[in-house]
Amino acid sequence: MTGGDEERRSVNHVDNDHRVEISVEDKVAVGEKVACGCGVSLSVSFSQKIIAEFIGTYFLIFAGCASVILNLMKGTVTLPGISIVWGLVVMVMIFSVGHISGAHFNPAVTIAFATVGRFPWQQVPAYISAQVFASILASGTLRLIFGGSRELFAGTTPDGSDIQSFVLEFIATFYLMFVISSVGTDIRAFGKFAGIAIGGTVSINVIIAGPISGAALNPARTLGPAIVAKNYKSIWVYMIGPIFGAIAGAWAYNLLRFTNKHINEIVANLSIVSICKK
């Protein structure tokens, strides 16, 4: 969830006695690749990002959903405990793999970064695939451990109307993405504390939105348990709400980012046409 960390750093690439400065994100384009047996070139650095996203998302869903299941079984974890688990696992995984993949762990975050030009669109499908597959695998692991009882469903369903949950998911994910955009991409922010700030935001959102919508904030967090349990009730809420909320949060923070551009030029760049050109 700290996609901007890679943008802050640069590496020197020496080629034919010419020194060229390139961003870490552009290392893929330099040609750091190995040949696959099928004749397709695979970027080593990009494959490492995908593996990091997979591992990070797996443990995010495993730990967070395990706390939900244990609370359903024993009633001892409680809502504050669940919120702490979600916040801590996000923080730990950001510190663990944020320097490798940017630690998105969330399709909504990946899409939002892409819309503001802070993540390449061509890498979005691979990131989302890794995140969703990791969520499915983590949910399957929990099902093997705790069983598949309907009473132990760790997914998210509205406790109220769909519209109420949709609004909560939108607002909570907006809040999360706004914080991510600040501490993860703005060079003026204290980037070293990004994991703490983002994890804390997740915990706050779980406390507030958890009792009503389940506080998914993440399409992959809902999809994994839903697919494993074959429970797709109101799933549109958790696909559309977080994605739209994250996009709005990323663009909102862009209004506060340091720039020499006039406000009219910034507003003009918020048009749908300009987004599609990214």
pLDDT at 177: 97
pLDDT at 5: 44
For the chain, give every domain's residue range.
46-276
Q: Distance between CA atoms of 16 and 229, rounded to whole angstroms?
A: 57
Q: Are 186 and 73 contacting, i.e. CB atoms less than 8 angstroms apart? A: no
Question: 195, exposed or middle or buried, with CB in 10 Å at 0-12, 13-18, 19+?
Answer: buried
Mean pLDDT by runs of 10 across the 278 residues of the chain is 49 36 36 39 75 97 96 93 97 95 96 95 96 97 91 92 97 97 86 92 97 96 96 96 97 81 55 44
Question: 118, exposed or middle or buried, with CB in 10 Å at 0-12, 13-18, 19+?
Answer: buried
pLDDT at 149: 87
pLDDT at 274: 43
3-class secondary-structure state, position 38: coil
Closest alpha carbon to 127 in 47, 43, 224, 215: 47
pLDDT at 44: 47
The CATH T-level fold of domain 46-276 is: Glycerol uptake facilitator protein (1.20.1080)
List 35's β-bridge partners, or say none.
41
Q: Distance between CA atoms of 213 and 207, rounded to whole angstroms?
A: 11
Closest alpha carbon to 218 in 65, 25, 52: 65
Whole-angstrom CA distances from 55 to 13, 85, 104, 131 are 29, 17, 11, 9
pLDDT at 24: 36
Helix axes 107-115, 162-185, angle to 10 degrees: 60
pLDDT at 258: 64
